[in-house]
Amino acid sequence: MTDQMKETYPLRGILWGIMFGLGLMVVAIVAKVIALSLVSALAVLILGIAIGTTWSMFGPARPPKSGNDGGPPA
Amino acid sequence: MFQRTLALVHRRALCLFALSVLGALSLTPLLAAPNAGAQNDNAALDALRAEVPEGDPGKFDLTEASEEFDRLVALYDQATTGVSDFGDGSELTGPCGGWAYSYDSNGDPPIDILDGGTAFTAGNPFRVDVRGLVQYYGFAPENGDGPRNHTWFVKTSGISLDKGGDPNTNLKNRNAGIVDLANDLPVKFSAKVRVEGEMMSDNLATCRGQGHVDFVGNGLTDPVGLAGLALLAGGLFGLLFNARPAITYKS
């Protein structure tokens, strides 16, 4: 018997969140949404990490793959 | 004649620029009064604006620059009275001063210093084109011997941008020049920055200044902006397709 379960990837969320946060930080500074300062830059970076982590934990789950390579075991 | 005197301004482009900004901070009280009035209804303020050369900024020698400073002071006194508060985040203390004019890549007209509002504050930063020029004049002090054995630093958010010093054995007390940001800044960018700096010496009181500077570039199309967009897109892609929760089967 097989059950469906939701698998989360918080570490991936953190890592991609760092990249997302860095991009958000640079874009926000260059677009002058925030001033270039350590505090505001770190705040945006942390926001990006928080978004990534939250998304990886509570985002809508991908449906299971179907077919030969991804279906439930027989 | 283009003389190098204070030895404050000599090492790198960043240093040159930051110190010119510090020098210009002293012009802030000259031009920054909240009651300076609108551009069209104050003849004295119009006269101030007329002092700023348009087109090719050229070069001031020290005598011309000093006379320019005196004219600006006199005109400012006519344009404003009794100003004690120059706004948020703009300050200069100590026996130093000067002026600075900022030009874009075309040099005409100057993009900042005379705008009738409070200058160098968070709400009205000194605008500098990263492909343009900043013409500056600075003194410490205005009359008398210059700083002996001085040291200085410039920083933002507690992070050092540059620092230095000089014995200044000739006790020179002024400098004027042009910072060519187009050539001196290796990477173009846009940002608003709060800059602060300090100069200490054996014989003068400490000169300390802070203010906000708006670096005017091409925004997101500059290399730094493009790098930021690439990071943002990459991070978003990873979050959407690699970090998203998944339903799996468990037997």
A64 vs B232: CB contact, 8 Å cut-off? no
- pLDDT, tens digit, for every residue of B92-103? 788 887 777 788
Summary mean pLDDT of chain A: 88
Residue ranges in chain B modelled with pLDDT below 70? 1-60, 72-87, 107-119
Query: Six-digit token pair at A48?
Result: 């990006």
Q: Name the residue ranges covered by the structural domains of chain A.
A: 19-58
Segment holding B104, helix H or strand E: none
Give the integer Cα–Cα distance in Å for B109 and B120.
Answer: 19
B245 vs A61: CB contact, 8 Å cut-off? yes
105-164 of B, contacting A, C-beta below 8 A: 122, 156-159
pLDDT band at residue A9, thresholds of 50, 70 and 90?
Answer: very high
Average pLDDT, integer, range A42-58: 96
Task: Give the residue from chain A lying closest to B123, CA to CA.
Answer: A35
pLDDT at B182: 84
Q: How far is CA B139 from the centre of its chain?
A: 15
- Which of B159, B228, B242 minimises the CB distance to A27? B228
- pLDDT, tens digit, for every residue of B115-139? 344 467 777 788 888 988 887 778 8
Contact residues on chain B for A3, CB-CB shorter than 8 A = 249-251
- pTM as predicted: 0.72
Strand partners, B209: B92, B197
pLDDT band at residue A25, thresholds of 50, 70 and 90?
Answer: very high
Q: What is the ipTM of this complex?
A: 0.88
Q: Name the residue ranges covered by the structural domains of chain B.
A: 13-218
